[in-house]
Amino acid sequence: MFDFLDLERYDLFGAFWMTVQLTVFSAIGSLVWGTALVAMRVSPVPVMRAFGTAYVNIIRNIPLTVIIIACAQGLYFTLRVDMGSDDQSTAYFRLAVLGLSAYTATFVCEALRSGINTVPMGQAEAARAMGLSFVQVLWLIVLPQAFRSSVAPLTNVLIALTKNTTVAAAISVAEAALLMKEMIENEAQTLVIGLLFASGFVLLTLPTGLVLGWVAKRVAVKR
């Protein structure tokens, strides 16, 4: 049944490894950028608040495929942004990470914002009363508590991100979905190939969910 699975011809592990890389780099990127966005959204500076709100509301409503293709077509071909690489496939990988991060950051931002809402007002007040600056209050008191109560929603964002990396196939990044397309074109066992790749993704996301579910309980702030 698995005789179509010629690992010499189809680099299955390489493709999933690419998926993992896309996920990890985009997760880091979106966590950093999403944190910056939520800081803007709660900041006392009106311009920053307006930017944060506009960014989130616009970017999360654009289909991811459009964002990824815009990164490749718009940034790479039109503006010649090659992300520091003259090798096109490396540049495309980095652009895919950029697009995925820019998009996923809006969901990270919203998850963190709901986390911030679980932190009682008194926490920030006590911190301000002590003479901490806005950034210190956010970084030392509010965000650490918000992160701890956002682990569950952030896990959902991470799982969605893992699956969303398949969109990078649209710009020929050699991740799992691109290989699947190629195999389906060449082989007869379409259903088995579909199951194979579906299992691959479940294998990636299931442990992530379990581990982070355990982490969520461990780090929860007791009040």
Residues at the interface with other proteins (CB under 8 A): 120, 122-123, 125-133, 136, 140-141, 144-145, 148, 221-223
Joined tokens for residue 116:
């911030």
Question: What is the rounded distance in angstroms from the CA atom of residue 6 to the CA atom of residue 90?
Answer: 26
Residue with Cβ nearer other proteins (66 or 140): 140
User: Which residue is associated with the tokens 């900041």?
Assistant: 43
Residue with Cβ nearer other proteins (80 or 222): 222
CB of 133 to other proteins, least distance (A): 6
Question: What is the rounded distance in angstroms from the CA atom of residue 24 to the CA atom of residue 142?
Answer: 25
Query: Can you list the pairs that 70-75 forms with residues at least 24 positions away whose Cβ atoms lie under 8 Å?
Result: 70/99, 71/95, 71/96, 71/98, 71/99, 71/171, 72/171
CB of 45 to other proteins, least distance (A): 11
Provide the CA 101 distance to its chain's centre, in angstroms.
5
CB of 219 to other proteins, least distance (A): 9
Residue with Cβ nearer other proteins (59 or 146): 146
Joined tokens for residue 191:
């259903």
CB of 120 to other proteins, least distance (A): 8
Residue with Cβ nearer other proteins (129 or 191): 129
Residue with Cβ nearer other proteins (88 or 133): 133
CB of 145 to other proteins, least distance (A): 5
Closest of 90, 92, 104 to residue 162, by C-alpha: 104
Residue with Cβ nearer other proteins (70 or 132): 132
CB of 11 to other proteins, least distance (A): 45
